[in-house]
Chains A and B, each alone.
Chain A
C-alpha cells in the first residue's frame, strides 16, 4: 500500500520512459543534466590543474630554444687580447688572479701575437697552456 502511494506521488503519468525515445530522454532529463554537469566540473578541474593553476609552468619571457641550443653548443672561445677578467676567468685553470696577470702582461708587453705566448704569463705553465689552447684565440 505504502509502495503504491509512493508510486502514485512520484510517477509522472504522462511519461512512460519505456515507450519511445523522446519519452525516455524527457523522463531522464534531470539525470542527463546532472551527468553533463559532473563531466563539465571534472573537465574544468582538469583544465585548471593542468594549465591554469600556479603549479603549471608558464613562460613569462620568450627565448628561442633554438637560440639557447646554439648558444650552448657554441664552444667557449675567449679572445685573450680583448677579454676582461670575468671572461678570462672562464678559461680552464684560470682563476681571478691568473686573469689579472694576463691583463697585466697584456698592458705591459702589448697584445698577444699567438696563444702560446700565454706561457710567458706568471702562473701559466705548459700543461695549463695545453688546456687553455682549445678555448683561446687572438
Chain B
C-alpha cells in the first residue's frame, strides 16, 4: 500500500483519457496550404469555418465527440498556419524571375547541373542551380534555378558549368500546359537557350555515380534493358527508347520506372534485413537505413514521389525508436504537411499527385476491394489465394485512385494496367534489387556484375515483353481528352463511401461499397465519353 501511494505520488501529471484524435491536424493543415496556394479566397472561407467550429466546440461540448474536441478547438490554429505557410511561399520575392521578365539580353551564369540532362527537340535540357549570375560586368544574383537548353549537354548532376546567353521567362500558359508552373514546382524561375555550355571542372559526385552506374549496368545487359534498369535504379528515363517508353505508358506500368514508395520500400527492406542479419541493434539499424535511403533519394535527383516516400519511410523507421505505433494514414497526412510546407507548389506536380493518390488509394480502398474480389472472382476457390487477391486489390485501388489524374494529364487511361501490374509490380522489386547489386558489383569488378546483370536481363525482358504485348492490344487504353477539374472533383467525391467503408461500415458490407465504387468509376468514364461526344 505504501509502495503504491509512493508510486502514485511520482506519476507524471498526464491524462490520456479520453484519448484525443490526432488525425484532423495534418488533414486541416494540408487542405489549408492547398487552398491558399490554389484559390486564396477558399482559404479565407476555411479559416472562417474553422473559427465557427472552434467556437461551437468550446461553447457546446456535445457538438463533436469528446475525443475530437481538442482538435476541433485547435482547428483555427491549423487553418491559419496552413494559409500563412502558403502565403509565405507565394509572397517570396524572386529577383531571378524579375530579371528574366525584362529580357535583359546576355547574362553569365555559373552553376551546377541539378537534374540529369534529357533529350528534347532542341538538343538537351537540364535544371541548373545558379551559384552566380553576372549582368553587365557585375555579379547581381546568387541562388535560384534556371532550365538550360543546349545542343549538347554531356554532363552529370552536380557538374559545374558556365553559360553565357540570354535569359527569359517561359512562354505564357496555353490551354494544355502551364510550363511556367511546371518549372515552378521544381523552383526554376527562368530559361536559358544556349548553343553550348562550358564545363568549369569539378565533376559532381552524383553525376559520377550515374556515370559509374551506366558503365556497371553495361556489363552483360543489352542497351535497352540497361536503360530500363537505369530508369528503375536512378529514376532517369532519358536513355529509354521512345517506343518502349510509350509501351510502358500504354500498359499502365510507367510507375515502376519512377522512384516511388515501392523503390524506397524495397531498398529499406534490403538494408534493414541485412543489418538485422548482422545483429545490428534496432537503435542503430533504423538510423543507418534512413541515412542510406535519403542518400539514394538524393542520388536519384530527389523527385517529388521519392521525397514523399522518403518522408513516410522516415516516420515508419523512426516510430520504433520513439516507441510509437505505426499509423499509415496519419503518417501519410503528416507527410503531406511536411512536403507541402517545404514546397506548396508540389500540388501542381503530376508525379506528386499520382504518388499521393496511389498511396491513399491503396490505404483506403485495398480492403474493400479485396473483400469484393474474395466474394466474387475468388469465390470458387476453397482457400482463396491471399497474396494474389491482395496484389490484385492493391493494383486495382492504385489504378482507380490515379485514373482521373492520368486521364486529365495524358488524355488517356490504361485499362490493361490492372492486369499488367500483376506481373510488373512483383518483378520490379527483384529488378531493382539486382540493378542496385549489379551497379555496386560492376564498380568493384566487372566480372562480378555479369552474372547479376544476366539474371536481371531475363526479368527485364519479361517486363519489356509485358509492356509491349499489353500496349499492342486495341483496348489497352481509353482516350479521355478534355477532362475538367470539376469532373475530377466529382470522381473523388464519389470515392468517399468506399474510402471510409473500412472505418465506418461492417466488414460484410465492404464488398457492396467496393462494387458500388467500381460502378461509379465505370459511370464516370461513360460520362467522360458522353461529354466528349
Which residues of A come within 8 Å of B, CB atoms?
7-12, 15, 17-18, 21, 24, 27-28, 30-32, 35-36, 38-39, 42-43, 45-47, 49-51, 54-63, 65, 68-69, 71-72
B25 near A58: Cβ-Cβ < 8 Å: no
Contacts of A31 in B (CB 8 A): 20, 70, 74
Least CB distance, A89 to chain B, in whole angstroms: 14
| Given A56-B92, A57-B95; A69-B144 close (CB under 8 Å) | no
Contacts of B7 in A (CB 8 A): 9
B337 near A42: Cβ-Cβ < 8 Å: yes
Q: Give complex CA distance A30, B81 in Å.
A: 19
Return the chain B residue nearest A8 by Cβ: B8
B70 near A65: Cβ-Cβ < 8 Å: no
B471 within 8 A of A: no
B3 within 8 A of A: no
A7 near B342: Cβ-Cβ < 8 Å: no
A11 near B143: Cβ-Cβ < 8 Å: no
Contacts of B143 in A (CB 8 A): 54-58
Least CB distance, A44 to chain B, in whole angstroms: 9
Contact of B140 among A36, A51, A59 (CB under 8 A): A59
B77 within 8 A of A: yes
Additional A-B contacts beyond A57-B95, A72-B105 (11; CB < 8 A): A8-B8, A12-B15, A18-B61, A31-B74, A39-B29, A46-B342, A50-B89, A58-B143, A59-B141, A61-B138, A65-B99
Lowest 10 A-B CB distances belong to which pairs? A57-B144, A57-B96, A50-B92, A39-B81, A46-B85, A57-B143, A42-B341, A69-B102, A61-B140, A46-B341
B78 near A60: Cβ-Cβ < 8 Å: no
Chain B 189-220 interface 0/1 with A at a Cβ cutoff of 8 Å (1 = within)? 10000000000000000000000000000000
Return the chain B residue nearest A35 by Cβ: B74
Question: 11 A-B contacts, Cβ less than 8 Å apart?
Answer: A10-B15, A12-B13, A32-B74, A36-B77, A39-B77, A55-B129, A58-B142, A59-B95, A60-B140, A61-B139, A68-B104
Return the chain B residue nearest A68 by Cβ: B104
Q: Give complex CA distance A28, B25 in Å.
A: 15
Q: Give complex CA distance A60, B130 in Å.
A: 13
B174 within 8 A of A: no
Return the chain A residue nearest B14 by Cβ: A10
Count of CB-CB pairs between chains A and B under 8 Å: 124
Q: Give complex CA distance A72, B168 in Å.
A: 13
A35 near B77: Cβ-Cβ < 8 Å: yes
Contacts of B89 in A (CB 8 A): 46, 49-50
Contact of B102 among A30, A54, A59, A72 (CB under 8 A): A72
Contact of B25 among A11, A35, A49 (CB under 8 A): A35
Chain B 15-39 interface 0/1 with A at a Cβ cutoff of 8 Å (1 = within)? 1110010000100010000000000
Q: Give complex CA distance A68, B101 in Å.
A: 11
| Given A42-B337, A57-B189, A60-B140; A9-B17 close (CB under 8 Å) | no
| Given A28-B70, A58-B95, A65-B102; A15-B15 close (CB under 8 Å) | yes
B94 within 8 A of A: yes
Contacts of B94 in A (CB 8 A): 57
B343 within 8 A of A: yes
Q: Give complex CA distance A62, B104 in Å.
A: 14
B343 near A42: Cβ-Cβ < 8 Å: no
Contacts of B74 in A (CB 8 A): 31-32, 35
Q: Give complex CA distance A65, B13 in Å.
A: 61
Least CB distance, B136 to chain A, in whole angstroms: 7
B135 within 8 A of A: yes
